[in-house]
Structure 1
Amino acid sequence: MREISRRGLLGAGLGAAAAIGAAGCGYVGAEPGQSGPAGSGDPGKGGKPSPSKSEGRLIGDGSTSDTGKQPHQPKRPEPLEPGQTPPQFVIFSWDGAGEVGNGLFPRFLELAKNHDAAMTFFLSGIYLLPESKKTLYKPPNNGIGASDIGYLTDDHIKDTLKYIRQAWLDGHEIGTHFNGHFCAGSGSVGNWSSADWRNETEQAVSFVTQWRTNSGWRDIDPLPFDYRKELVGARTPCLLGQDKLLPMAKQLGWRYDASSPGGRQVWPDKKMEIWDLPLQQIPFPGHSFEVLSMDYNILANQSRNSTNGVPANYPRWKKQATEAYLNGFQRAYDTNRAPLFIGNHFEQWNGGIYMDAVEEAIKGMAGKPDVRLVSFRQFCDWLDVQDPQVLAKLRTLEVGQAPAGGWNTFFNAA
């Protein structure tokens, strides 16, 4: 199953739902994208950067800076004790991670803060590149400046910088969703080589680490992290191209990839020494098939890929989406404790019901015993300190399979 491609404002060529009902986690239109102190006052008027005590050591042209250890990180993870029940990890992630004036980025930063949650924001590099400088982007196998998602306005780039800065200061992870989001034709990311992925990644990093040079804005605070060190994982556009991406990811020392085209609610393993953390099939209320754990896949099975379905259906669809997330959570929580991965876009599709569903899901999961709402990187931190034999044992549990005799018996069985 794959993420559905999208081209143009209305998303032509979206394709049909897969047999299991996961029509792909594509995005329609300009993937708009996707917060601590928000930085200096009035952005974008030129001049010298304002000095700031929190600015840290500036890197390169001052677009980013080294401010030390990231705030609001959990304590150092420890291996499971013999017979200990594994935590229930839930990772909410956002593709694109740009703010386009709909207020969704700050909404979910506030929600995360209220529920002690960390998330992963897969930033699209061109969301920090002014459209007037689009010729700086040279996508593999596509024309100069081409992109299947829209460039942001200057004001929206400034907003995105503000909330990416706040996100990191609040303890969230900043990954990458690369740049032009090519899903179809000969230039599709599904056809890219490892060298193409390396090229695309270097460009994505350059747009994040050189936004001051590219924009000319000098009075906006730098991003408070060294992105080359921060970046340890990604999700590819359309969930395509992982096989050629992984060799490049291994060369760069990345720790995980979230690009598998659909997984199951079981404990993860590695591919090419990289943690493989896919979106997952979760129960879809009212249907015999399961749906991929992303907002667009649920939409595709409700309104046939239309982002503006019949409003009379919105309450029912919102309830169905919320229950899909909560049912997937409860199935794992009550049985094998496999981590749950949920992907989203900052979009108001079908009246914003999927954003409401995500909010209700977070509220329904947070605060329960053993539940940890973390970023992908934080989850990898936990995985990496576990006994490999313990993880291998966990991987023997199937979807919805509880450990026979309880966790103590399970771990101590020969």
Structure 2
Amino acid sequence: MKAATMRVAVGVAATAVIAGLAGCGGPGADAEKEGAPGARKAAAAPKAAPRLIGDGSTAFTGIQPGQLRPERLKPGERPPQFVVYSWDGAGEDSQRLFSHFRTVGKKYNATMTYFLSGVYLLPEEKSDLYLPPQHSAGRSDIGFNDTEGIRATVRELRGAWQDGNEVGTHFNGHFCGTDGGVGTWSVDEWKSEIAQAKSFVKNWKSNSGLTGEQPLPFDYDKELVGARTPCLEGRANFVRAAGELGFRYDTSGVNDQIWPEKDQGLWDLSLQLVPFPGRDFETLSMDYNFMINQSGTVKGDPASHEYWGDQMRDGLVQAFDRAYRGNRAPLIIGNHFESWNGGAYMRAIEESIATVCVQKDVRCVSFKQLADWLDAQDPEVLRKLRTLEVGQSPKQGWESFLAAQPVAPAGRPAERPAKPVAAASHAVRPEADH
């Protein structure tokens, strides 16, 4: 893929002062040996003969390998620590970052979520097939692709799914701002954008002419259950559209590091505020936000590249530590396949994966796997977990905190523990990711 076609549109990020609370966590290699509670590897599914769908761009190949079998927490059991690494606009170009992080994931037993931009499977000469809301046909702020770029991206998507990773969507043209940007789209316009994102995946062979290639090994109508909107804009109407279309989660907002809850039927698994070492505010858990608060440009002073990468890595590890030793809330991290500031943020991500995903009781998973686990839990247990603030561990220990509730005598409800009070800290955050 041409590097120019995969360049993410970068805008100026505004900041707002808020009261910031946080808590996080993650999954990993040694956790399987240690028997992490509540999430165990499912047995390998027997291979089924592919059943081609449509023009053969996709196929049903059976149950996805490499998934965790979600298990309900037992009374008094400490939750596993989940960490989700995710990638916006996933595609393979000359930097080969998609293939690189697939290798990293396998090395550290980490599955991830790849948010594909649908136009990365649409060749430039077929650009008029894209009818973006509020824009003319064939318009895209991130361009389209060429034949070899499509071939390489499909190869990585195929392997990623077979490795146990999730393929979500970052939609198509990546329009931000007030001039027809996604923040101005209606529910129906979002539905059109989603339908087109699916169509480009389901028809990449016909559109590209690569009819001799192997299909993607999944039914995208069933595989696609979550997304992140461009620039984190337009979330309200997107969530309404996604809920009506059967999506299971959204990760387009800004949260503190506390346990998630549902919003209009979707799990709100938004990005989070995390420590920014050496600064007196927190920033969003995404490479772009560290970059915009450090250099303000993707080509900052080379003398600072190492420091900036270390700063992001340390911020993510600090976020992990306060959740891992505190409330065990999942840690949500977002990234781009970009070599901004000399690749500082790619190094930061890889080093954080190597640090957190190998620890006991840690599970580095995709968003879909996290949603599976959340759906398997007792809603009352999740409600109790949400009473824990950022970095706050249960005062009397996990065994007592999540102990089975006594059965109340007839006519008299059982008493619930008082909600703990936590102090808020002030944080500054960029409101948009890119």
The bucket for the TM-score relative to the shorter chain is 0.7 to 0.9
How big is the shift at 1:250? 1.4
Matched with 2:148 is: 155
Write the letter of the residue equivalent to 1:279.
L
Could you tell me how far 1:15 is from its partner in structure 2? Answer: 4.2
Report the CA distance between 1:185 and its aligned residue.
2.7
Residue pairs, 1:175-324, within 5 angstroms = 175-260=168-253, 262-304=254-296, 306-324=297-315
Aligned counterparts, 1:327-338, within 5 A = 327-338=318-329
In structure 2, what is the Cα distance between the partners aligned to 1:21 and 1:121? 31
User: CA-atom RMSD, angstroms?
Assistant: 1.9
2:395 to 404, 407, 410: 404
For residues 380 and 300 of structure 1, the distance between their equivalents in structure 2, rounded to whole angstroms, comes to: 30
How far the C-alpha of 1:186 sits from its partner, in A, is 2.9
Structure 1: how far apart are the matches of 2:134 and 2:357? 44
Q: Is the 8 A contact 1:55 1:65 kept in 2?
A: no
Aligned 8 A contact 1:120 1:376 in 2: yes
Q: Distance in 2 between matches of 1:384 and 1:10?
A: 33
Going from structure 1 to structure 2, the CA distance change for 1:233 and 1:10 (only over 3 Å counts) comes to closer
Deviation of 1:251 (Å)? 1.5
Q: Which has the higher contact order (CA 8 A, sep 6+)?
A: 2
Q: Secondary structure at the match of 1:280?
A: strand
Question: Quick one: distance in 1 between partners of 2:316 and 2:348?
Answer: 8
Which one of the candidate residues 324, 347, 352 is aligned to 1:361?
A: 352
CA deviation vs aligned residue, 1:60-95 (integer Å, no higher than 9, x gap): 001000111111112x21111111111100000000
Name the SS for the 1:369 alignment partner.
coil
Amino acid at match of 2:357: A
CA distance in 1, matches of 2:48, 2:284: 41
User: Does residue 1:66 correspond to 2:64, yes or no?
Assistant: no
Query: What pairs with 1:377-396 in structure 2 (closer than 5 Å)?
Result: 377-396=368-387
**Corresponding residue of 2:428:** none
Partner deviation per Cα, 1:232-282 (whole Å, 9 max, x = no partner)? 11111111111111221112111101111x110000000011100110000
Structure 1, unaligned runs of 5 or more: 1-6, 23-52
Report 1:167-182 matches (<5 A).
Answer: 167-182=160-175
Percent of pairs with identical residues: 54
Aligned residues: 375
Separation (CA, whole Å) in 2 of partners of 1:317 and 1:17: 20
Contact kept? 2:302, 2:342, Cα under 8 Å: yes
What displacement does 1:404 show? 0.6
* Alignment partner of 1:352 out of 343, 365, 380: 343
| Structure 1 residue aligned with 2:422 | none
SS in 1 for 2:242: helix
Judging by fraction of residues, say which structure has more strand.
Answer: 2
Change in CA separation of 1:178 and 1:307 when aligned onto 2, cut-off 3 Å: same
The corresponding residue for 1:14 is 12
* C-alpha displacement of 1:152: 2.2
Partners of 2:131 and 2:298 in 1: how far apart? 30
Runs of 4+ off more than 3 Å: 7-13, 15-22
- Identify unmatched segments of 5+ residues in structure 2: 21-46, 404-415, 418-434
Provide the TM-score with structure 1 as the length reference. 0.87
CA distance in 2, matches of 1:21, 1:206: 41
1:155-201 deviations in whole A, cap 9, x for unaligned?
11111000000000101000010000100233110010110000000
| Matched residue, 1:56 | 50
Deviation at 1:19, TM superposition (A): 4.5
**How far apart, in 1, do the equivalents of 2:99 and 2:375 lie?**
31
TM-score by length of structure 2 reads 0.84
Residue aligned with 1:332, SS:
helix
